[in-house]
Chain A
Amino acid sequence: MRRLIVLLAGCAAVFSHWPAVAAAPVARSVAQTKSKGVSLQTWALKNGLKVVFAARQGAPLVSVQIVYHVGSRDEKAGTRGLARIMRELMFRGSARVPPGGHSRLIARVGGRVAAHGDEDITAFANTVPAPYTEMAIELEAERMRGLSLKEADVAAVRQFVLRSRQRQVDGSALGKSIELLRGDVFGGHPYANGVMGVVADLRRISVDDCARFHQTHFGPNNATLVVAGAISEAALRPLVEKHFGAIAPNPALAARQGFTPAPAAPAKALKLPVEKPMVAIGVPLPRLSPRERASVYVLSEVLAGGSAGRLSRRLVGPKSAALAAGGAPLALEDGGVLVLFAVHQPDHTSDEIRRIMLDELAQMRDKPIDLEELTQARLRAAATVAGALSSTEGLANALAMATAVEGELEQAMLRPQQILDVSQSDIGRLANQYLREDMLSILMLTPEGRPAAEASQPKGTP
């Protein structure tokens, strides 16, 4: 059960980030000193690479992160999964770095590397002791400029991604159900395609496909470099220019397709190899303003924030209907989905659980939230966001996310306060706008092998 919660929470962590870097070069250099002791600067190179810099004194650490504005939504039919494959291939070396050498060099100096990607972005993070900043920048520039793409590497990564897909989606009831829910929520939009691709496509993706994808999307004019930590702007600028300045831009890319939520299909009842029956509800969300985004975090916390969330309090307990209940928002560049779920006892029907969950959503719509409950939810949500800002790596990550998702850098630093500022009326408005039953996608999963009738029988009936 814990795995389920972690996985859903993981979805939020993975999907709620970065993205969209504005196509036009940033002409001005913005210098602002924010209250949290962080000074923010942005500029752009001639080749279109956007640079975000946050000076923060304290520990002698620097986080160098690069976000490419490419994700699974940019994959063409027949190459679904290509972005996931490229994320792995970026560690397979270049003329100046042997395969795996990037990670080894960072580890060698006591740093750490991370990579993540979703529908909108592909990002790489290197956090190193400050004196090794140049090495981290040089390594990122190297794989932007001269990635080696060999058939053997593509074949190995292909197998790796296929295995991951099998583990996380095809072999996982939860993964499969999230994929189905995504399909229902996003309909014909490319967001409907998961980041794990399609098996048939993954099997046939070639070196040429990868080379074209890298050439098209992994250039300076489609990327933002974020550097945070104990380094000065004066020291950083020449390093960025030295290593990225000479990289030629790629051809400009077409604009992406936006997403508008549409009325949902009827609720689906499916049989999957789950251990316990589960009800999952997807609440589609359009592209949100920063303030709405903060309100969604709080709303999600009120409904699904651990044992204090309404779903958990209503459904989980010593003699209650569910073993676990929760949820998390998936906030993407052009929209998203709030996923709510309840894994319930077999002696309760999925219909019964669904009704209870819908009743909770109705109460959110119909009754103003109590101020004390709102305060607690705001503090919980803000603590999660603020905790990430404590580390240099977390700060850089948040800056990259804010630049890409909201197109406004300052949002990274303002988010905890925005969450604390969410009002009762914000929550009421949001609930009435998005928690409408006609907009919800609902899945009811029953363990395979259990008679279908049993799943739909009210509790206590034969």
Chain B
Amino acid sequence: MKHFALTITCWLACVPAVAWAQPKAPVPIDVPAAPGAAVWAWPAEQAFTLRNGLHVAVITKADESLVNVALFVPAGKATETPQTRGAADLVAGWVRAGSSRRDAMPLELRVEELGADVQVQVDRLGTTLLCKAMFPRLQGCLALLADLVEAPAFKSDRLIEVRSQLAAQVRQQLASDEGRARAHFYNLVFGDEHPAGQAVQPDDIGGLTEATLRAFWQQWYRPNLSRLVVVGNVSSDVVNQAAAAAFKGWKAGASPRAPSPPVPVREGTRLLLVDSPTAPQATLMFGHMLAAKDAAEWAALESLTFVYGGAGLGSRLAQNVATKGLIAAGGAALEPTAQGRLLRTTLQAPAAKTWDALLAAASQLKAFAEQGVLPAELAELKARSAAVDPLQLETGDGLALAVLEAEAVKTGGLSYFKALSKAVEVVDNKALQSAASRLKPDALAVVIVGPAKVIAPQLQKAKVRFEQIAFEDPLSVSARARRDRLVHNDAATSAESMQARGLIMKALAAAGGAPAWRALTTLTVKKQGQRREGGRIVTMTSTTHYRRPNDVRVEQEARVRDKVVGQAAFVLTAQQVRGTNAKGALVALPAENVSRLRAATFEDVVFILLNILDAKPPVPVAPKQPWVEKGVSYPGIEVQVPAGAWISLYFDPNTNLLSRVRSPDVAGGESEQRLLDWRDVGGLKFPFKQLSFGPNTSEATLTDVQINPVLPPTLFE
């Protein structure tokens, strides 16, 4: 009993003692649930208008040592017409290349002398030029920007550089899954008729003449359409005097109206699947246009977007969708447009979970209308000043650019951010729930770019209606319809086809005539050239034997610094396709290589025109926008080659000869071949110099051309 009593006593006494002795489990550090609201202290703003109509806002920041001068001209993608698509970017690049007062090199030196940083950026709304430097260079920055917009040099040689850089940039963007998704997404939201619905393409950039670009500049680079923002430790009076002096020569112009067709309103969700067969994951872009009744509702919608996908790792997309392994990354934003705001979500998802990821993300939007947001989310959006990004707005240049963007969509410049931050401070869950009725999770424009063989079955299983297209298919509905028409109409006799075939006939006539080419029985062409691969230069030699109409034998050798690094040969006849294996023996090739070789043979520049004319069944051919270079307009055609891809051919307007061939490359981009130095051999003309631009740049020269040589039949066995 005593023992028992002791045990009981000990048990009673010892439990708390033991508990006391246990080390306290450390409390993990976590995000505080009620952190308090962010409070802004906004700088002072004053505005005035110069005599020429230039609207100027001066934001005085006492703690800013630099002056940030940002000039907005409404030359954006939204102001382009189908005839001037790409002009905003090209003109901005051309303007940046130098003024008539200071050519490009002195301009760069001038920028360095000012100790300035000068940037030019183009978006849908306009073109913004930013100059930031120490305060004593305020006048210098203003004068520099005035020079650029008021008196650009517009030199033809600089335009060639700008055009080629921009075309390369556009090609690169459109070759990426996200760039492709963006182009299709805007087309799906805005439609073909709206300027925002048509992505700029290399053809657009190539087709714009100098006169068109000058007219575009003349129309939109006007002070009475533009806005200037200066942020720094500077007074309005000082800026007024300096800006009036700098911009006094910039003359006001008419007030053109940017094309602003209404954004089509469509019911239900529309889904476009773009096949990117080798993509490691799916890129999803979806959303819809948003309207709101007043500023308070906009603030609520901005707040909802922040909670949904704008808060990074704190957003619902991260917390509720990424944590389930449905997406690898994702975010959402409200994009300002002239017609309202566009809610756009971008996700990267494992291809096998594409449909689940889309459903999960859309369900986050639906949940807002039913439940609003959680108290912790409401606290966080206030603590982080949702949609009024402090990290951007704290710096002088970030503030200047944000204010210009707000002014461009007529939401009021700095006052817009002031009002928004105040509205976010007081927004409550009721207002958020009410604003959530503006979200349309059942009427989304959805673009998915990824491997269709993995994604299409998921969509079919979910019984979702969708349109599937190939990666390289045109970016607008109307262009795809035109391609369909070309394919399904009579490929040889339609009006478009006849017009394009006319150009081919002319080119063949210039090169010796179609009859002479058809009469050719055998041909041997030897070629030598160099190709830049990574950091090394590879010397290539090749001999091609043709036995018309169907047989080809190619022998190639590659050397680096006189050392043979590769040898290959293939024989292609109507009956067989053989190529060299690793041991150098000719063996039958796998089907994939066969189709690639047949396509390459069809596109061989020596016979491509004849191949197009004589193809059985006929291949679709149509005229396309000319390519402009150095003021010369090269007429073009597009052709669907038997392998299915569309290639573009351009002709020299003076000689009618084929001048360049552009075709899709394996990486989703484009490669281009330029044909130069046409010489006569036995009454037929051949391009003795061939330049290729693409993943690898190469230059080749024909070293020997033999017309109707005697070729042993064994060559083709």
Q: Is B340 an interface residue, CB under 8 A from the partner?
A: no
Complex interface: chain A residues within 8 A of B115 (CB): 376, 379-383
Q: How far is the CA of A338 from the CA of B601 in the complex (A)?
A: 59
A416 within 8 A of B: yes
Interface 0/1 of B30-52, CB less than 8 Å to A: 11100111111101000000000
A307 touches B134 (CB 8 A): no
A364-397 interface code vs B (CB 8 A; 1 in, 0 out): 0000000000001001111100110111100000
- Closest approach, in angstroms, between the C-beta of A236 and any C-beta of chain B? 14
Partner of B29, one of A37, A139, A307: A139
Using a Cβ cutoff of 8 Å, how many contacts connect chains A and B?
Answer: 147
Of B307-315, B497-505, B694-702, the one touching chain A: B307-315
Q: Chain B's nearest CB lies how many Å from the CB of A114?
A: 13
Identify which of B32, B40, B133 contacts A132 (C-beta below 8 A). Answer: B32
Q: Which residues of A contact B391 (CB under 8 A)?
A: 59, 61, 110, 112, 127, 391
B619 at the interface (CB under 8 A from A): no
A residues in contact with B63, CB < 8 Å: 36-38, 56, 58, 389-390
Is B395 a contact of A390 with CB atoms below 8 Å? Answer: yes
Query: Which of B183-191, B380-388, B443-451 lies at the interface?
Result: B380-388
Q: Is the CB of A97 within 8 A of B29?
A: yes
Cross-chain contact B29 with A109 (CB below 8 angstroms): no
B41 lies within 8 A of A230 (CB):
yes
Name the A residues within 8 Å of B61 (CB-CB): 58
Interface size on A, residues (CB 8 A): 52
Looking at the assembled complex, report how far the CB atom of A9 sits from the nearest CB atom of chain B, in whole angstroms: 14
Q: Which residue of B lies closest to A415 (CB)?
A: B65
- The answer to whether B383 touches A131, judged by C-beta atoms less than 8 angstroms apart, is yes
Distance of A390 Cα from B392 Cα, bound (Å): 11
A38 to B390, CA, bound (A): 18
Which of A130, A307, A379, A387 has a CB less than 8 Å from the CB of B114?
Answer: A379
In the assembled complex, B713 has its CB within 8 A of some CB on chain A? no
Q: Is A142 an interface residue (CB 8 A)?
A: yes
Q: Report the minimum CB–CB distance from B38 to chain A (whole Å).
A: 4
Given contacts A37-B62, A95-B26, A379-B137, contact A58 B43 (CB under 8 A): yes
Let me know if A230 and B29 touch, CB within 8 A. no
CB distance from A136 to the nearest CB of B (A): 10
Distance between Cα atoms of A380 and B134 in the complex (Å): 8
Complex interface: stretch among A74-82, A100-108, A212-220, A425-433: A100-108
Chain B residues closer than 8 Å to A57, beta-carbon distance: 41
Q: How far is the CA of A95 from the CA of B28 in the complex (A)?
A: 8
With A and B bound together, what is the CA distance between A61 and B63 in angstroms? 15
A window 113-140: CB within 8 A of B = 127, 129-132, 134-135, 138-139
**A380-B394 in contact (CB<8A):** no
Q: A58 to B418, alpha carbons, bound, how many Å?
A: 12
B394 touches A59 (CB 8 A): yes
Tell whether, in the assembled complex, residue A96 and residue B28 are in contact, meaning their CB atoms are under 8 Å apart: yes
In the complex, per-residue mask of A34-64: 1 if CB is within 8 Å of any chain B CB, else 0: 0111100000000000000000111111000
Contact residue among B109, B385, B396 (Cβ-Cβ distance under 8 Å from A129):
B385
- Interface assignment of B435: CB less than 8 Å from any CB of chain A: no
Interchain CB contact under 8 A, B116 and A383: yes
CA distance A54 to B469 in the complex (A): 57
Partner of B65, one of A104, A109, A376, A390: A390
* CA–CA, A56 and B393, complex, Å: 14
What residues make up the interface of B, taking CB atoms closer than 8 Å to A? 26-32, 35-41, 43, 61-66, 108-109, 112-117, 132-134, 136-137, 233, 311-314, 380, 383-385, 390-391, 393-397, 535
Sampled A-B contacts (5; CB under 8 Å) = A36-B63, A37-B62, A58-B40, A61-B391, A416-B65
- Which 5 residue pairs are nearest across A and B when measured between Cβ atoms? A386-B65, A380-B115, A59-B394, A60-B38, A131-B35
Known: A60-B40, A390-B396. 6 other contacts (CB 8 A): A59-B391, A129-B38, A305-B112, A381-B115, A387-B66, A387-B132
